[in-house]
Amino acid sequence: MIDELVTVLQIAIAVVIIAVWIFRPRLETGFRAGNAKNIVEEFAVYGLPQWSVYAIGITKLTLAILLIVGIWYSSLVQFAALGMGLLMAGAVICHLKTKGDPLSRATPASLMLVMCVVVFYLG
């Protein structure tokens, strides 16, 4: 039962990351910081340089792929979950530091962080 939960969480984390970074980077959502209309503008709201959008995006996509591959090669799971969890913790911090933004904007990153912690400890 625990193995199945971990597998479902691995897939869920990977699918969300792929959706955000491949299919939705230009999509305006209610979870973007400040008045950002896309991911590049959101990183600017956080005060991060433009190159960091690409570095973080590539890293997150790589870790998402490793989570999927980890279904068959379990030795990858903890590494991928730890890396993704650290990035999600950074995302939560960025959301919380954005003045004037409601706490609800940190919800997706917070949920992803919790899922990464569960995968790390149970995987």
Instruction: Flag whether 91 is in a domain.
Output: yes
pTM, 2 dp: 0.93
Predicted confidence at residue 30, as pLDDT, reads 86
Q: Is the pLDDT of residue 27 over 90?
A: no
Q: Is the pLDDT of residue 29 over 90?
A: no
Average pLDDT in the 13-37 region? Answer: 92
Q: In angstroms, rounded to a whole number, what is the distance separating the alpha carbons of residues 56 and 101?
A: 22
What is the number of domains present in the chain? Answer: 1
pLDDT in tens, 73-122: 999 999 999 999 999 999 999 999 999 899 999 999 999 999 999 999 99
Report which of 27, 13, 97 is spatially closest to residue 61, judged by C-alpha positions. Answer: 13
Q: What angle do CA 8, 13, 15 make, to 5 degrees?
A: 90
Predicted confidence at residue 83, as pLDDT, reads 98
Task: Band the pLDDT of 3: cuts 50, 70, 90.
Answer: very high
The three-class DSSP label of residue 36 is coil
Instruction: Flag whether 48 is in a domain.
Output: yes
Predicted confidence at residue 43, as pLDDT, reads 96
Domain containing residue 117: 2-26+36-122
Instruction: Flag whether 31 is in a domain.
Output: no
92: CB partners within 8 A, 6+ apart: 106, 109, 110, 113
Instruction: Flag whether 64 is in a domain.
Output: yes
Instruction: Flag whether 20 is in a domain.
Output: yes
pLDDT in tens, 30-71: 889 999 999 999 999 999 999 999 999 999 999 999 999 999
Q: In angstroms, rounded to a whole number, what is the distance separating the alpha carbons of residues 24 and 21?
A: 6
Instruction: Flag whether 89 is in a domain.
Output: yes
